[in-house]
Amino acid sequence: MMDSLRTAANSLVLKIIFGIIIVSFILTGVSSYLIGAGANYAAKVNGQEISRGQFENAFAGERNRMQQQLGDQFSELAANEGYMKTLRQQTLNRLIDEALLDQYARNLGLGISDEQVKKAILSTQAFQSNGKFDNARYNSIVNQMGMTADQYAQALRNQLTTQQLINAVVGTDFMLKGETDELAALVSQQRVVREATIDVAALAAKQQVSDDEVNAYYEQNKNAFVAPEQFRVSYIKLDAAALQETASDADIQSYYDQHQDQFTQPQRNRYSVIQTKTEADAKAVLDELNKGADFATVAKAKSTDIISAKNGGDMGWLEDATTPDELKNAGLKEKGQLSGVIKSSVGFLVARLDDIEAAKTKPLADVRDDIASKVKQEKALDAFYALQQKVSDAASNDNESLAGAEQAAGAKAVETGWFGHDNLPEELNFKPVSDAIFNGGLVGENGTPGSNSDIITVDGDRAFVLRVTEHKAEAVKPLAEVKDQVVAQVKHNKAEQQAKLDAEKILADLKAGKDDALKAAGLSFGEAKTLSRTGQDPVSQAAFGLSLPAKDKPSFGTTSDMQGNIVLLALDEVKAGTMPEAQKKAMVQGITQNNAQIAFEAMMSNLRKEAKIKLGDIITQQQ
């Protein structure tokens, strides 16, 4: 078998790697291995340096991920200096944890074989077409990257090794069968209860409320009666998509002539290579080929590049920008031409130019429809920008209304109804628009109309001009407006308090053996119900909090139901439940995963505690 991982690493294919390497690698820490040490490190972990370059690269990746996830909201967060400092610190902590994991895995002797590295390369989706490994695609991607073969192989090895450590930790927790059965019986237990309900709403209807009680409640709870800030807005919307433009034959021909590069595929060459460790081996291969040996057969038998060898040395189609310098400088001009021995950073090569595909330009007829669409779009955008300026000037010159802007836009302004911060009309639901409305700059004094807004552009192809026509500031509603609501709440509070006192008295009597206590209160227990522990309602939760009943004697308790009524409970019986095996297995899996997570966090905490971690100047200066 080939020399472990170095056989895979010393590959012309892997030599070209960097840049498009799978996003998941970048986000899970492989990027931290791709940049060498800088003059100013970010941190040292037990002597292992995390360079400033590694840190900045990881931070940029985290920013990009957050930008994709949060969109416009991230721009607002990024303007917050405190938030960005926290994000930088979290990124550094992640890199430190990765270094600790890597070191710990090496101390335990965990490792990944060369066969596992090869399998990971061949199964990577980024290198596949139609579900199969595509050598040409692999070479194209790899060549856009800039990383050496050793760096890529080591990054991949480190990632797989760390994952091996994590899997080892999370797979150690388990439960004994006796523990599982006992827990399953407890979880599936059922309780038979009877309920007697004190209707709080019925009690509330009988309550009397004084003006003093109403005034006191209102004064103490004014924040519950606040009318939110309200707006009414008039606006004009401009939309580039609504502007219909045409594309003449001359327009189309002009665009085609000026953008030939968009319709031209550059020359492509197809190469095959055989890679060897020594110059002597390469000379022997070249001699064998010159004597008529089949290139693909020799490549499969003797090439040390395990990727291209699998395909008989074929490197696939390469454009000039993706062709390695070793092949560019090999002097290969004609199909079938063999190179001499080529010295490279991965060993020695013998190459053959298999085919040449000349540069070709698509005829105008083939791309006419696409060009027409682009010309129309560009014309529409030009007209849109011109209209924006025209409407903006009109809105500025006549700042007392939108009449001038309406005339310039050739459209009437739309008027909204009243709305607040939490129910902005859908048509205006864009962050730049909402910011303009809610930041106060367009509001006049005492609720009067203010100024027209500037042009507000949204997504590049829509724009708004608006003015706040009416405004109501946030204010506490007067008592007269909310008196009915206050009276109802005071009555409810008094009824609830009475119900709780009544329930406590009845409960005490029941526990003392006075079985007629319910009847004296005009109540009675209903039919028995069987409740399960999985019930999320208050009655089920309370039932499983009651003490176990004695023989032929229930236990009692009180709770509230979903409607806010007070409920007296009588627990008559506790039944042992059963749990299907599939459900039992899922329960155990959830518990063990949770325990494994706790164990992993404990391991990381211990590694951090014992580690010697030193932050670099670039980090401490930013804190």
pLDDT tens column, 101-137: 888 877 877 777 777 877 887 787 877 788 787 777 7
pLDDT tens for each residue of 176-229: 566 667 677 777 888 999 999 999 999 999 999 999 999 999 999 999 999 999
Q: Tell me the three state secondary structure of residue 614.
A: strand
- Give, for 471, the enclosing helix (H) or strand (E): strand 462-472
Nearest to 307 by CA among 113, 116, 122: 122
pTM of the model: 0.47
Confidence of residue 51 (pLDDT cuts 50, 70, 90): confident
**Whole-angstrom Cα distance, residue 568 to residue 560?**
9
Q: What's the chain's Rg over C-alpha atoms?
A: 38
Answer with the residue of higher pLDDT: 386 or 123: 386
pLDDT at residue number 72:
73
Give, in degrees to the nearest 5, the angle at Cα 89 between 88 and 93.
120
Whether 166 has a pLDDT exceeding 60, the answer reads yes
Out of 37-41, 366-370, 468-472, which region has the weakest mean confidence (pLDDT)?
A: 37-41
Average pLDDT over every residue of 538-544: 90
Confidence of residue 4 (pLDDT cuts 50, 70, 90): very low
**Whole-angstrom Cα distance, residue 413 to residue 430?**
18
Could you write out the three-class secondary structure of 545-585?
CCCCCECCECEEEEEECCCCCEEEEEEEEEECCCCCHHHHH
**Whole-angstrom Cα distance, residue 539 to residue 545?**
10
**Domain 229-246+371-473 identical in fold to domain 267-358:** yes
Average pLDDT over every residue of 513-518: 87
Q: Are residues 540 and 531 in contact, defined by beta-carbon separation less than 8 angstroms?
A: yes
**Whole-angstrom Cα distance, residue 436 to residue 454?**
9
Domain extent listing, the chain: 4-172+609-620, 189-223+480-575, 229-246+371-473, 267-358
Answer with the residue of higher pLDDT: 174 or 458: 458
Cα 375 to the center of its chain, rounded Å: 37
pLDDT at residue number 280:
95
Q: Are residues 466 and 451 in contact, defined by beta-carbon separation less than 8 angstroms?
A: no
pLDDT at residue number 342:
93
Place of tokens 């009475």: 498
Q: Are residues 271 and 355 in contact, defined by beta-carbon separation less than 8 angstroms?
A: no
Specify the DSSP class assigned to residue 463. E
Length of the chain: 623
Under CATH, to which class is 4-172+609-620 assigned? mainly alpha
- Give, for 59, the enclosing helix (H) or strand (E): helix 52-70
Answer with the residue of higher pLDDT: 163 or 477: 477
CATH domain 267-358 topology: Chitinase A; domain 3 (3.10.50)
CATH of region 229-246+371-473:
3.10.50
pLDDT tens for each residue of 389-441: 999 999 999 888 999 999 999 999 999 999 999 999 999 999 999 999 999 88
Average pLDDT over the chain, rounded to an integer: 83
pLDDT tens for each residue of 318-358: 888 888 888 999 999 999 999 999 998 888 999 999 999 98
Q: What percent of the chain has pLDDT over 90?
A: 42
Q: Tell me the three state secondary structure of residue 495.
A: helix
